[in-house]
Chain A
């Protein structure tokens, strides 16, 4: 990564470190490496660290940070600390490479937009399934809903805009595509992505020790399953 990261305030209790403005695995690797580094350092006063495609936002408690920075503002103090860390070692904490295999049923009864997309993209449903499932996706970030993974990047042949009118209810487990991204709705929710399948895996469960199955930086592979298999797994 060649561009120098830019640190900007995000209001008076947060800041964002921009590592670039593109979605690619190099930038993302830098984001996650820095995410790990900051987590390990546990700097007093930092309450949240939010990774995104090419940035990392840090939310802090002004009072806690100011306990260590009497002469500077909380922002200036954290900006200095971050700059120091950025200037020292890169990739100090290599990201763990967790892999998840997620079964997906691409049957049109659950992948409600799959037929329309095949027509629109001039692909057979089989080709579409092949293009979507024959790829390793990275979870660039979680957002929108608890545990909603923004994953990339899709094969360019599958690039498609969001639906003009969002649906009012998309079922939990639905696999969506939008732009060059793919995602999984962890909960029943309104949404504007094109739905091509559904997984029986529960991405979010509030009473689980880790409510969200996927974490930023994880890798995901989709495995096609039949409707029968989908029904069987969903009943487990």
Chain B
């Protein structure tokens, strides 16, 4: 059973929650950029959060399904259509064998996720399905999707042809609203970095009070920003390379900043002036070039609390969605 890539997108890959445990070998984490959207896509089709998904950028791949199954699209709104019928994000969608899913216009956000019931088949490398483009491993042949690629879904116990035949499931009563997770999406909260103290007083103010623009060089590795002139005080020491992490904001030699994202290198020597908090990474993941952001510093404690609160809300929502999914579909199978 295949899902064929009939038109390829600019940068579509298979990702999961990332590859941890190998950063000491220089092997980066990868994984979905917007994990909230990704986890909810899996929940909407009854999958666990560890299942790999397709992460799409615009223009995105078109996919021809030769099976009838359930999918969910979350994250960015790229105006999805199944054949000539528009479908919406954030719900469970039935797709029939012979239908093509395509994306016609980018409306909001920059990264969309497609989950398929049962999960996508993918290459497991070092305990993760995420595509590591540099190592050419994991995901789909370790690379971005190309026209003609044949994706597969995992076998599941549900026979949707039978279920759909028995009952009219043109609209599946599963729809969620994720907008609450993206409030104030341009105000990015950070904790202080170890070299923040070496910024000049003026630069410290610029960092916190002025706007910063995402440049065209903003991708899965990192977002390069265009900011008002920032400088380090003259007595700032040079530091040896050390570990960096998702969300680390580095001060580059040209006076500009870069925020490290999911495909970041494991170590770096540029001064680390701040770190985007975990609870705001998914917001940043949906911002593309030319977006204007502001930074605000929060305490370590506040950062952790925000993350815990967000996880709590996400887990509650996931539980409700999965329970509803099981109710809708298991009622049909005896």
Chain A residues within CB distance 8 Å of chain B: 8-14, 16, 18, 21-23, 35, 47-57, 59, 62-63, 66, 73-75, 141-148, 150, 187, 189, 204, 206-207, 211-212, 215-216
B residues less than 8 Å from A206 (CB atoms): 125, 132, 135-137, 142
Q: A11-B191, A145-B134, A206-B142 are in contact. Are A53 and B241 (CB under 8 A)?
A: yes
Assign chain B's interface to a size class.
35 or more
How far is the CB of A16 from the nearest CB of chain B, in Å? 6
Q: A146-B135, A206-B125, A211-B126 are in contact. Are A13 and B26 (CB under 8 A)?
A: no
Closest to B192 in A: A9
Inter-subunit contact B267/A13 (CB<8 Å)? no
Inter-subunit contact A146/B243 (CB<8 Å)? no
Q: A9-B191, A50-B266, A55-B242 are in contact. Are A146 and B134 (CB under 8 A)?
A: yes
How far is the CB of A25 from the nearest CB of chain B, in Å? 14
Inter-subunit contact B26/A73 (CB<8 Å)? no
B residues less than 8 Å from A23 (CB atoms): 240
Inter-subunit contact B242/A75 (CB<8 Å)? no
Inter-subunit contact B267/A11 (CB<8 Å)? no
Determine the distance from Cα of A56 to Cα of B23 in the docked complex, in whole angstroms: 12
11 A–B contacts, CB within 8 A, in A order: A9-B191, A9-B300, A10-B244, A10-B272, A23-B240, A47-B20, A51-B24, A59-B23, A62-B308, A211-B27, A215-B25
Q: A73-B301, A206-B137 are in contact. Are A14 and B25 (CB under 8 A)?
A: no
Inter-subunit contact B307/A62 (CB<8 Å)? yes
Q: Which of B26, B244, B246, B268 has the most CB of A within 10 A?
A: B26
Inter-subunit contact A142/B278 (CB<8 Å)? no
B residues less than 8 Å from A215 (CB atoms): 24-25
Closest to B28 in A: A146
Of B29, B194, B267, the contact of A141 (CB 8 Å cutoff): B267
Determine the distance from Cα of A143 to Cα of B240 in the docked complex, in whole angstroms: 13
* B215-246 interface bits toward A, Cβ cutoff 8 Å, 1 = contact, 0 = none: 00000000000000000000001011111111
